[in-house]
Chain A
Amino acid sequence: MQQEAAHTVTQVAQQAGEAVAHAAASSGHSITHMMMQLVLQLAVIIVCAKVGGYLFQRFLNMPSVLGELASGMLIGPYALGGLIDIPNIGILFVESHSFAVTPELYGIATLASIILLFLAGLETDLAAFLRYSVVGSFVGMGGLLAAFVMGDLCAVLWPGNGIDSFMDPAALFLGVISVATSVGITARILAEKRKMASPEGVTILAGAVFDDVFGIITLAIVMGMAKVSMGKGVAWGPICIIAVKAIGFFVVVTALGLIFSRKITALIKRFKSKEIIVALCFGLALLLASLAEMAGLAMIIGAYIMGLALSRTDLAHEIEHHLEGVYNILVPIFFCVMGMMVDFGAMKPVLIFGSVYSLLAVFSKVVGCGIPAWLMKFNLRGSLRIGLGMLPRGEVALIVAGIGLAGGIIDQGIFGVAIMMTVVTTMLAPPLLVKSFEGGSGLRKEMEGSSTNIESIELEFPSRDITEFLLNRFVNALQQEEFFVHHLHTDQPTFHVLKDDIDFTLIEEGNKLIINVPSVNQHVARMILLEELLSLSDLLESTKQMKSVDEMGSDLMSGLFA
Chain B
Amino acid sequence: MKLKKVLSPETVWVDLKSDSKQGIIEEMVDRLFLAGKIENRDTILQVVLDREAKMSTGMENGVAIPHGKSDAVESLVAAVGLNKAGVDFNAMDGRPCTIFIMTVSPAKRAGPHIQFLAEVSRLISQPAKREQLLAARTHLDIYTILTGK
With contacts A479-B110, A482-B110, A523-B122 taken as known, whether A538 is within 8 angstroms of B54 at the C-beta atoms is: yes
Q: Are A481 and B114 in contact (CB under 8 A)?
A: yes
Q: Is the interface of B mostly helix, strand, loop or mixed?
A: helix
Q: How large is the interface on B (under 10, 10 to 19, 20 to 34, 35 or more residues)?
A: 10 to 19
Q: Is B35 an interface residue (CB 8 A)?
A: no
Q: Are B122 and A480 in contact (CB under 8 A)?
A: no
- Report the minimum CB–CB distance from B111 to chain A (whole Å): 6
A520 neighbours in B (Cβ, 8 Å): 122
Q: Are B113 and A481 in contact (CB under 8 A)?
A: yes
How many A-B pairs have beta carbons closer than 8 Å: the answer is: 41
Q: Are A523 and B112 in contact (CB under 8 A)?
A: no
Q: Are B121 and A523 in contact (CB under 8 A)?
A: yes
- Report the minimum CB–CB distance from A500 to chain B (whole Å): 8
- Report the minimum CB–CB distance from B40 to chain A (whole Å): 22
Q: Is B125 an interface residue (CB 8 A)?
A: yes
Q: How large is the interface on A (under 10, 10 to 19, 20 to 34, 35 or more residues)?
A: 10 to 19
Q: Is A537 an interface residue (CB 8 A)?
A: yes
A480 neighbours in B (Cβ, 8 Å): 110-111
B118 neighbours in A (Cβ, 8 Å): 523-524, 526-528
A531 neighbours in B (Cβ, 8 Å): 114
Q: Are A528 and B110 in contact (CB under 8 A)?
A: no
- Report the minimum CB–CB distance from B55 to chain A (whole Å): 6
Q: Is A557 an interface residue (CB 8 A)?
A: no
B115 neighbours in A (Cβ, 8 Å): 481, 499, 524, 528
| Complex CA distance for A527 and B115, rounded to whole angstroms | 8
Q: Is A534 an interface residue (CB 8 A)?
A: yes
- Report the minimum CB–CB distance from B80 to chain A (whole Å): 16
Q: Are B117 and A527 in contact (CB under 8 A)?
A: yes
Question: Which residue of A is nearest B50, CB measured?
Answer: A538
Question: Which residue of A is nearest B122, CB measured?
Answer: A523
Q: Are A482 and B111 in contact (CB under 8 A)?
A: yes
Task: Write 8 A-B pairs (CB below 8 A) sorted by A numbering.
Answer: A479-B110, A480-B110, A482-B112, A499-B115, A526-B118, A527-B114, A534-B55, A537-B54
Chain A interface residues toward B at CB < 8 A: 477, 479-482, 499-500, 520, 523-524, 526-528, 530-531, 534, 537-538
| 8 smallest beta-carbon distances between A and B, as pairs | A524-B118, A523-B118, A523-B122, A480-B110, A534-B54, A527-B118, A528-B114, A523-B121
